Each structure stands twice: as C-alpha cells, then as structure tokens.
Amino acid sequence: MHVARRQRSAGVVRVPGQSSPRVSMASRSQIVVKFGDDVALPTALGRHPIPEWHEREWAALLTELPGRLVATPLFRSVSRLELETLVRVAKMRSERAHEDYRPPKFENYLWLNYQSVAPADVPPSEQEAQHLKATEFIVESISKWTDVVHCYERLEDETPALKRASTPITFAAPNTDPEHPLQRHLQPAPAGLAAKALWQYEGASGVGQHFVDIERGWNLAHKDLSDASGRPRVTHDRRNGGVRSRKASDITHGTSVLGIVCASHNAINTIGLAPALESMQVISYVSGTGDTSTADTIMRAAANQIASSIDQRRVSMSVRPTTVILIEAHARLRSSSFYFPVEVYPDTFDAIDLTTRAGITVIEPAGNGRVPDTRDVPLDRFSVDLDDVQSYLGRSAEAKTLLRSLNPNQSTQRRPETRPERGGGSAKLAPYQDSGAIMVGAATYQARDGGRWTRLLESNYGARVNCFAAGENVTTLNAQGGSAIDFSGTSSASAIIAGAALMLQGVAQANQGAPLAPKLLRQALGDAALGTRSKAPITDKIGVMPNLPTMAQKYAGTS
C-alpha cells in the first residue's frame, strides 16, 4: 500500500510539492497493539515502548506516514502495584472457583495515537480518505510482525442511547411521593422489578455498596444528586486523564443514568433504585488528546476498589467486592455498520475479565444495533444476533473475541484453552469466551398485550445476553435539573440492571455477611425460573427481567 511520504524540517511536517509548511491536521486514529506474553517491552523512562529489534521497521513506518505516530502503554492510569494486586486477587479467586485464569501480560498492550496531516487546500473528504488509508497501512504493517498477537484500529466508544429528544416533565407540587407512578421499573412484576417490595429489607437501598459509572458526561450538580446541604454526592475521578464531555446529549445521558441508579430519596423529582449507596463515582473515557481508552478507564475504576489494611505491621491489599461498575458504552468497528458490546475488542475484554475475576461486578450493554444514518444495511435489520457476531465482523482482527456462550449462567470455561499466538502453531480455542460481565438487552412493554415484554428492535440479542430491562419511556433525571420520561435503549436497561444489582448486593451483605460473587450475581439476575420472561424468549434472546423479591429469597437470604 502506498502512502504519501512526509519530509521533516525543524520539527515541521512538510508535504512533498509544497513550498511552505501550510498544512491541516486532518484526523486522528487510535490503534491497539498487543505483543505476545513472552516479549519484554522497553520500560526505560523517556523511551518509546517499541522493542529494539523492531526499531528499523518502526522508523521505516514513520517515514511513510504523513503525520505523527506515537506509541505509549495502553494501561497507563494504573501503577504496577495496582495491576499486580488486581492480577493476584483475580488468580486467587479463580483458584478458589476451580477456574484456570491465565491473564495476559497487560504491559504488552500498546496504544498508538496517529494524527495525520494534509495540505490545507485538500478537500476534507479527500483528507479523510487519505487518513483511513494511512491507518490501514499502519495496522497491516505492524500485523506482519511475528511477535504481535493483535493489531487493530480502536474507534472511540459511544453512549448506547437512542436518538430521541428528551421530553421534560413537571411533577405536581408539592411532590410528596418520590416513587412516582411513571417510574415503571420500581413497580411489581411483570411491569417492573418489584423494587418497592424489596426496599422493606435491610440493605436494599444500596447500603454499604459502591457504584462507578463509566461514560462521557454528567450534571453532578443536579439537585437530586446532592445531599441535604446541596453538595454533590457523586465524585469525578480524573486519574485516567478523562475529561467530562460538554455535549448536551452526553450530559443528559449520564445524568439520566445516575438518576435511575442513585437519585436521592427526597421530595423532588424521582428516586433511584439504590439511593443510599456508600459511594458514587463517575469516570470518563473521553480525552481531548486522544490518549484515553475504555479499557484503561475500566482498569482505573477497578484499581480504585483496592483497599489497603495494616495488620500486625504487615500491609495487605485486597479488592472491595461491594462494587458495581457500569460501562455505559457500546463499540463501533470500522468494518461494520452496527454497534457491539465493548468487550468485542480484546483489550476491553481482558480488562473486564480481570475486573470480574477480582470480585468486582461489571454491567455491560449489549448495544443498540445499527449505527444511525447508515445506508449500507437493509432497512429491516435493526440489531445484531451476538451468537453470529463473527459474520458481522468479517475478517477483522477484532473478531478474536467470541461472544456466544453455551450457557451464560452456568459457564465454567471463561477463556480459550490456549491463547492465539502468531507464528506459534495452531491455537485451540474454546467454543466461547466469557468476560464475566452481566450483559443487558432492552425491551418494550405492552400493557395492552397482557403486560408482556418484547425485545426492542434496536437491542442486540443472543445467548450471551443475561437479562433485560426497559428500553423505552424510562422516567429519570435530565441535565437541566428536572426529570424526563423517555430515556431509552440499552442505556436505560443497563442502568436499571445496575441498580438492581446494587439492591440485591445490599440485601445479601445485610443477611449473609457478604455480597454475591460476580458470577453468582449474574446467575441470580438472569435466573429464568425467577425472572419475568419476554413474550417470545426463544426468538427475543435477551434473557429475563429480574423479579427482585423472588431472587432475593433464593440468593440473598430473605424469607
């Protein structure tokens, strides 16, 4: 593949044929590279992490590219001690569960940030085409290195909300009933999760539990996310380099999610499923410099749950098991016009896998199917059957993560039998890989149809999806300081399931002295014998909607 070469002069990129350095910064791409676990990457301060035996190939690649290519470790926001602690705890818990956990060498994941340049008079469409060509050239070139396991372009994830206008509502004043009838998810089955019925049990409001929301933006000053003195109850962790998005849609989305999970129990607006949490934290995967990834953000959120304790002059490190991390994102791939769960990318899968094995619950949307305004997809195809995910991904390098689970609630094999290595012979793979996350689909409620749920057309589905919740007309907070009645998609569904998980964990800890392990919690929330089924479960393939009181009786020790 031919890419227009660049020439360097005094630090300024000059494009051949130009008499002046007048150029336009065209576009930016992020590329993930994973070297084999037997490779030792350079760690010297100030040196880029490309192995010395690839120096010539790297230098040759740079001379071919019109722009700037920088390599850094992917997992940069966690210290070596934090990473070692997470891996140690994950191994220990896996051994107790009689599972064979062979973690990847996380330090061998690299993040390549490529920013192209072009002459200022080149039309934007041509600049974009040249940029994509250069990005493909980078991926193809590095993929040929025999010690590289993965190399793929990593598009930035997006929030999985459907493109619908927010409809604000005004509650009657004074509103003495925060458990407003419009919050259907609070109500008894089959319309809701029967959250009100569970609140009568100790711990059901989320007491002692911790919640982390990973996405792009929020209004943390919303009066229903503040304490009695008006101070925000939710904290923003910036240690991964993430910044809060200023887009109105992102701020509305994040505020709506927090409203479902943890809005205050007061006399205004709505009430969250778990309004009495021990802590609430948000962390953004958005960066103005292009050096923040969802995988690194997940790892930072997990590292925040490491607790230190000193016993008899010895420092011990453990991971807090009372935490639920919600990833409010779905993934895009250059090779497809559909959205996918974020774990379709190997770097994100490995981060989630480590997190759940360390004892932290992760909630993940199944994704909202077709990307809006795409013209290369039949109009009657709205979503993705995750059982057949590779047919959507084609020959993409990202397709190494299989999403199909033979039985997601009783799986014992959570990783391939062997890790695929280039040049290392044939790699024997297990039928599926399971990150341990609770994957959530979305459904729509038909009260006139006997109170039945039907999979939302835009919701992805498949055997890997564990449970579902409302994906339309969900009442929650909006960014303007009030409430709205139409939060939707796998975004609203995942937020509801996150709240349900925190409620069930609070009850389990109060009654049994400890929260449920992530795998057992997933089994509880997806228990087909106890939850509310959709109208056509065989074809809907989105699991069940939790019925919290019945699940608490079986799994959390209530009577």
Average pLDDT for runs of 10 along the chain of length 559: 43 37 68 95 80 95 92 93 93 91 96 89 87 94 95 90 60 49 91 95 96 97 89 91 90 96 88 95 85 90 77 59 95 87 93 96 94 68 81 44 40 36 38 85 86 92 94 94 92 98 97 94 97 95 97 91
Q: Would you list the DSSP string of 312-337?
A: TTEEEEEE-TTEEEEE--BEE-TT-S
Q: Would you list the DSSP string of 340-371?
A: E-GGGSHHHHHHHHHHHHTT-EEEEE----BP
CATH fold of the domain at 7-75+99-153 = Alpha-Beta Plaits (3.30.70)
Which residues have CB under 8 Å from 174's CB, separation 6+?
267
Tell me the CATH number for domain 168-555: 3.40.50.200
| Full-model pTM | 0.88
Query: Domain-by-domain residue ranges, the chain?
Result: 7-75+99-153, 168-555
User: CA dist 91 to 84, 97, 103, 351, 356, Å?
Assistant: 10, 10, 8, 14, 11
Beta carbons of 340 and 460 less than 8 angstroms apart: yes
* Token pair recorded at residue 260: 């479902």
Helix (H, G, I), strand (E, B) or coil at 539: helix
Q: Which residue reads 């240690």 in tokens?
A: 239
Cα–Cα distance measured from residue 476 to residue 496, given in angstroms and rounded to the nearest whole number: 11
* Token pair recorded at residue 460: 């992805």
Residue 328 has φ and ψ, to the nearest 5°, of -90, 75
33-72 burial, b for 16+ CB within 10 Å, e for fewer? bbbbeebebeeeeeeebbeeebeeebeebeebbbbebebe
